[in-house]
């Protein structure tokens, strides 16, 4: 990057009357993409920490906890893409997380049932069901289950996304709609106790694809898989962010109409990003089930859907690593504080969210960007014609409602 901008310079041509100039987003919240070297470094550090140091230093409990954080962080990576880059404030990722999780949980419950020599899961028998519902039969085969984890949420997101975005529903309306979806989905799950075990959820899993989940060695392998999947997701988003699609997505976020006048259909671009976010959430959900050992409507409704957002906002939603780091940090803080002061943590979460959206829309990553700019400014002070004109202030309000 050779950009040199000095904010001291002022523009020579005054803006026309009536043309309210949109302030640009500060560097940190914007599109600073990490170069290949930085990305490899980031992924390398992540790989060493997660694949080597964590399994060696953490005990079974610690590893399970971290595995849980990583599953939630997968949702955050998707939200970073949809919200940070695509401007879609999706407050209903619980739907896709839940779809992935429930498909996996259904498969695992069935597998355990078969191992026990039964044909129908215990909770169904208690509900007086005598024949396995067809919906369950479908996911009995592991390959079908894995395919369903990938295809069902992505397909649902594709249909919903296209319906929503081609009608040009956006901003706060989209946020409300997505949140209502999460609420409706949780209600749907609770309302079908025969199929889903209602608000109790599905739990008590003993095996995954034939592996014994009570064996610590298997659990460690499971953790390694979770960590590797997250790293792959990060590599994918890194490439997406620096691809032409990534640039187009930012263009759609900032000026949807303008993109239309360049001959693209913004609905299509947004739908694709939304589908990828849904896929990440679904994979996170599917891995959450064997790692945590339970999935219930309490993990997928409105509150968890909003909780997914908080880490993303704090970390810096439009940056590459901000969402994942923010999410892990919030999960960690949550575990620490929730046991010490259970109700206080909820308030603190809310307060943090408000503070970040209000005063630091770029998240903590923007602080880093600010420091970077300060430094490069100092270096550039003595030389170089600057490119243009004024640097516009951060527009927090405008950003937040997108």
Binding site for another protein (CB under 8 A): 1-3, 5, 11-16, 18-25, 30-31, 239-240, 242-245, 247-248, 250-251, 254-255, 257-265, 387-392
Dump strand ranges (E) for 246-336.
294-295
Number of helical (H) and strand (E) elements in the chain, helices listed first: 18, 4
In terms of residues, how long is the chain?
Answer: 402
Nearer to another protein by C-beta: 212 or 265? 265
Nearer to another protein by C-beta: 35 or 171? 35
Residue 394 CB, shortest distance to another protein, in Å, is 11
Name 209's Cβ contacts closer than 8 Å, sequence gap at least 6.
Answer: 111, 142
Nearer to another protein by C-beta: 120 or 251? 251
Nearer to another protein by C-beta: 187 or 387? 387
Are residues 390 and 9 in contact, defined by beta-carbon separation less than 8 angstroms?
A: yes
Q: Which residue in 350, 293, 306, 291 sits closest to 94, CA to CA?
A: 306
Q: Using alpha carbons, list the distances in angstroms from residue 149 to 99, 145, 227, 283.
A: 7, 6, 18, 7
Nearer to another protein by C-beta: 52 or 163? 163
Which secondary-structure segment (H or E) carries 229?
helix 216-242
Nearer to another protein by C-beta: 120 or 240? 240
Name 132's Cβ contacts closer than 8 Å, sequence gap at least 6.
Answer: 110, 119, 120, 124
Residue 180 CB, shortest distance to another protein, in Å, is 28
Residue 20 CB, shortest distance to another protein, in Å, is 7
Integer-rounded Cα Rg, in Å, for the chain is 23
Which secondary-structure segment (H or E) carries 208?
strand 207-208
Nearer to another protein by C-beta: 161 or 290? 161
Residue 262 CB, shortest distance to another protein, in Å, is 5
Name 117's Cβ contacts closer than 8 Å, sequence gap at least 6.
Answer: none
Residue 282 CB, shortest distance to another protein, in Å, is 20
Residue 238 CB, shortest distance to another protein, in Å, is 10
Residue 267 CB, shortest distance to another protein, in Å, is 9
């Amino acid at each position: 990057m050779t950009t040199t901008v000095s904010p001291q310079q002022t523009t020579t041509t005054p803006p026309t009357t009536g043309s309210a100039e949109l302030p640009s987003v500060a560097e940190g919240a914007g599109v600073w993409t990490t170069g290949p070297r930085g990305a490899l470094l980031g992924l390398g550090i992540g790989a060493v920490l997660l694949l080597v140091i964590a399994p060696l230093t953490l005990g079974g409990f610690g590893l399970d906890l971290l595995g849980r954080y990583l599953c939630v962080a997968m949702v955050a990576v998707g939200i970073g893409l949809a919200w940070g880059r695509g401007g879609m404030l999706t407050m209903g990722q619980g739907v896709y997380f839940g779809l992935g999780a429930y498909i996996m949980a259904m498969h695992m419950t069935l597998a355990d049932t078969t191992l026990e020599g039964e044909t129908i899961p215990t909770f169904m028998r208690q509900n007086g069901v005598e024949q396995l519902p067809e919906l369950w039969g479908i996911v009995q085969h592991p390959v079908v289950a894995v395919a369903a984890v990938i295809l069902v949420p992505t397909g649902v997101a594709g249909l919903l996304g296209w319906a929503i975005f081609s009608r040009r529903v956006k901003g706060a309306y989209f946020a409300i709609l997505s949140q209502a979806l999460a609420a409706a989905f949780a209600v749907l799950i609770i309302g079908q106790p025969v199929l889903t075990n209602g608000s109790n959820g599905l739990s008590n899993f003993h095996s995954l694809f034939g592996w014994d989940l009570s064996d610590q060695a298997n659990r460690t392998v499971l953790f390694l898989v979770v960590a590797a999947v997250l790293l792959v997701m990060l590599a994918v988003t890194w490439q997406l962010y620096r691809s032409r699609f990534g640039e187009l997505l930012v263009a759609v976020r900032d000026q949807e109409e303008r993109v239309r006048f360049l001959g693209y259909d913004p609905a299509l671009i947004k739908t694709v990003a939304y589908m990828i976010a849904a896929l990440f959430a679904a994979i996170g959900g599917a891995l959450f089930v064997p790692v945590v050992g339970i999935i219930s409507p309490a993990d997928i409704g409105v509150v968890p859907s909003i909780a997914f957002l908080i880490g993303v906002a704090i970390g810096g939603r439009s940056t590459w690593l901000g969402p994942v780091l923010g999410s892990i940090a919030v999960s960690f803080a949550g575990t620490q504080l929730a046991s010490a002061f259970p109700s206080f943590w909820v308030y603190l979460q809310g307060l943090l969210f408000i503070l970040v959206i209000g005063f630091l829309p770029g998240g903590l990553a923007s602080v880093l960007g600010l420091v970077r700019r300060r430094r490069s400014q100092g270096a550039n002070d003595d030389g170089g014609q600057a490119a243009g004109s004024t640097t516009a202030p951060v527009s927090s309000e405008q950003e937040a409602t997108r």
